[in-house]
Structure 1
Amino acid sequence: MSTDPTRLSRLPIVQAPMAGAGGPALAAAVTGAGGLGFLAAGYRSADALAADIAELRALIGAAPFGVNVFMPHHTATPAEQERLRRYARSLARAATRYGGTVGTPAPGAERDDWDAKLALLLAHPVPVVGFTFGLPDAAAIAALKAAGTLTVATVTSPAEARLAADLGVDALCVQGAEAGGHQGTFDNPDDPAPYGLLTLLALIAPETDLPLIAAGGIMTGRQIEAVRIAGASAAQLGTAFLRCPESVASAAHKAALADPAFEHSVLTRAFSGRWARGLRNGFVARHEAEVPGVYPYVHHLVSPIRKAAAERGEPDGLALWAGQGWRLARAEPAADVITRLVDEMAAARKAHA
């Protein structure tokens, strides 16, 4: 087997995992069309992840795919717990507005069932495992390698790239500020200053021989060719697949991506306590200034409210994760998205031949 995750698939196209919007059907569709499909393990129990993997394997057979896991976070301090209680009281009005409730983080929520997920991935290896929000220890990397799994670390700065390379991962997912959803930073700064994707590639590519997967606002084949020229081996796309029928994003989320009433994508911590890019809506406007940066506890407080808003078809209460190129997302099958991307890539190469 190749030791380069970007060479496992026929095309240099990786589907972003997208917790809450991806799933086996989307990963299977992308894989079947020649890309590398990914499952999101974030916010999933180990048992739920095992079921997702089994469903995906039933759809694609022995074809390669990846699983992306969130790294554990620290337990909330007493001061952070008090800030969370204040935020929970403030969220009560939003819960009433959408017919939901304020959630209660379960004990151990900060670990996201990491130990059980790692045990699952070692007992039943998958072709690729990605890491977001930091890195596991060297023993975990060694164990995954021994199981035949290739590893990918999401990095958002040259310093993070160096740490990941020194740990011995097989590839880096280089995530720029344009990316939809969570910024995969190792820490959770109060004042984010993320690099744009092309700048980040220019800084990281000369420092490493590892394959680079470029992520951040990529929606067209021309952009895929551009990041490959900039040093990437493949491009990771998420928002481009959000409106596909195989995506499990809510109907309200999909509709919002095409709604001209939504004019801006912003980085916000209002929904999870970590910086993530999405469309600016009423929930962000009302809560951004008061949200504590305490992840993943904020996510668990807000999750039932988001679910209620989705059931009511209320985009104002949803985390409308979207990269900066969201206007280019189309409501079409994932295979059609990839066919269009391939055609655009070929046209870009021909134009510059």
Structure 2
Amino acid sequence: MLERLDRPIVQAPMAGGGSTPALAAAVSGAGGLGFLAAGYKSAEAMREEIAATRALTSRPFGMNVFMPSSDPVDEAAVAAYRERLVPEGERLGVAPGTPGGDRTDGYAAKIESLVAEAPAVVSFTFGCPEAEVVRALRDRGTYVIVTVTTPDEALIAVESGADALCVQGAEAGGHQGSFTNAVGPPIELRPLLAAVHSVTGLPLIAAGGLGTREHVAEALALGAVAAQLGTAFLRSPESGTSAVHRAALTDRRSTRTALTRAFSGRPARGLVNGFMTRYEEFAPAVYPEVHYVTSPLRKAAAAQGDPEGVNLWAGTSYRLASDAPAAEIVAALTP
């Protein structure tokens, strides 16, 4: 599947609005592999996006699914963090959210729908599906990819029967796709790619901090069959990136990225801003509870055009992101 792409470019699935049917269709139509994101959506909304993308392209595209969280919940720590965020809410005119949402992100219903819909590709983040799930998808002709951040995770994914692995380095924008929240320091892409390549012969997609055709060529030379980029497409007209996020990517005050748990309770890389600076040291490692707590604050900040109060996910090569159409970006990234 991946080896047959006209261009070795995979558009990263960006949950929260970045990925759209228009973006996925444009990338796939340009010879790469476009992706939709099921994260934070209902199974019905996911099916609607699949239908909308199929109406725009006959080329293969993928759907990404969040694995359910199985990490323990420190309810007292979450409650304390919520209380700390009350003044932030008062500034924005909203109250922090309640940490009682669905920990599974509707996983079971989404798997049932994906087996029925049989998209060309399904990828998983935050864990590895059971072998039975992988078999059910593959029996329908779906190509299964699992996101990994360590060689140990890669071995688990191989055992599950995955067709390929997305090897995500620390430089990647957005959430780290580690199987649990309790992980050591994230590994940068180049050593991680070598380490995973040494334990499996499965096709590997390199992800993390890639922003030029030279970066893509280097990843391919290190053993990847394709490169996955998300930040590179954030400014494209087809993406669903918010206005405040688009502006921040080119704002001279946006000087660096960092990994933070402040917004969701799980490590994620974004542009350093006021919220991240104020609350990172207090954020408990509890996902998705922290996500539910901060969600109203982030939505309010985005609506008010406040870049200091919203998550601005971005990889380390964010300055290289172009506002060109997605098809042109795919062509520019191809070695």
TM-score normalised to the size of structure 2?
Answer: 0.97
Shift of 1:143: 0.8
- Aligned pairs (5 A) from 1:79-158: 80-107=74-101, 109-158=102-151
Which of 288, 305, 323 is 2:297 aligned to?
Answer: 305
> Post-superposition, which runs of at least 4 consecutive aligned residues in structure 1 deviate over 3 A?
none
Q: Whole-Å Cα distance in 2 between the matches of residues 141 and 13 of structure 1?
A: 24
Read off the aligned partner of 1:113 and give its amino acid letter: G
| 8 Å CA contact 1:8, 1:64 repeated in 2 | no
Q: Whole-Å Cα distance in 2 between the matches of residues 76 and 194 of structure 1?
A: 21
Shift of 1:257: 0.7
Q: Tell whether 2:242 aligns with 1:250.
A: yes
Shift of 1:8: 4.8
State the superposition RMSD in angstroms: 1.3
Q: Tell whether 2:260 aligns with 1:268.
A: yes
| 8 Å CA contact 2:298, 2:311 repeated in 1 | yes
Which of 50, 63, 66 is 1:67 aligned to?
Answer: 63
- Aligned pairs (5 A) from 1:222-233: 222-233=214-225
- Aligned pairs (5 A) from 1:169-180: 169-180=162-173
Q: Deviations over 1:312-343 (max 9, x none)?
A: 1111011110000111112221112112223x
| 8 Å CA contact 2:71, 2:180 repeated in 1 | no
Shift of 1:99: 2.8
Read off the aligned partner of 1:89 and give its amino acid letter: E
Q: Deviations over 1:270-308 (max 9, x none)?
A: 000000000110000111111111101111111111111
* Pair 1:162–1:93, CA change in 2 (3 A): same
Which of 211, 218, 222 is 1:219 aligned to?
Answer: 211
Q: Whole-Å Cα distance in 1 between the matches of residues 236 and 31 of structure 2?
A: 16
Q: Which runs of 5+ in 2 are unaligned?
A: none
Which of 20, 23, 26 is 1:26 aligned to?
Answer: 23
Q: Partner of 2:198: helix, strand, or coil?
A: helix
Q: Which runs of 5+ in 1 are unaligned?
A: 346-353
Read off the aligned partner of 2:155 and give its amino acid letter: R
Which of 12, 16, 19 is 1:16 aligned to?
Answer: 12
Q: Tell whether 2:292 aligns with 1:295.
A: no
Q: Whole-Å Cα distance in 2 between the matches of residues 44 and 9 of structure 1?
A: 28
Q: Whole-Å Cα distance in 2 between the matches of residues 217 and 98 of structure 1?
A: 32
Q: Partner of 1:39: helix, strand, or coil?
A: strand
Q: Deviations over 1:23-81 (max 9, x none)?
A: 21111111111110000111111111111111111111x3100000000013754xx11
* Pair 1:63–1:40, CA change in 2 (3 A): same
Which of 45, 54, 57 is 1:57 aligned to?
Answer: 54
Which of 156, 159, 167 is 1:166 aligned to?
Answer: 159
| 8 Å CA contact 1:144, 1:150 repeated in 2 | yes
Q: Whole-Å Cα distance in 2 between the matches of residues 26 and 98 of structure 1?
A: 31
Read off the aligned partner of 2:272 and give its amino acid letter: R
Aligned to 1:182: 175
Count of residues in correspondence between the two structures: 334
| 8 Å CA contact 2:256, 2:272 repeated in 1 | yes
Q: Deviations over 1:160-200 (max 9, x none)?
A: 1111111110000000011000000111127x411111111
Aligned to 1:42: 39
Q: Partner of 1:207: helix, strand, or coil?
A: coil
| 8 Å CA contact 1:99, 1:309 repeated in 2 | no
Shift of 1:100: 3.0
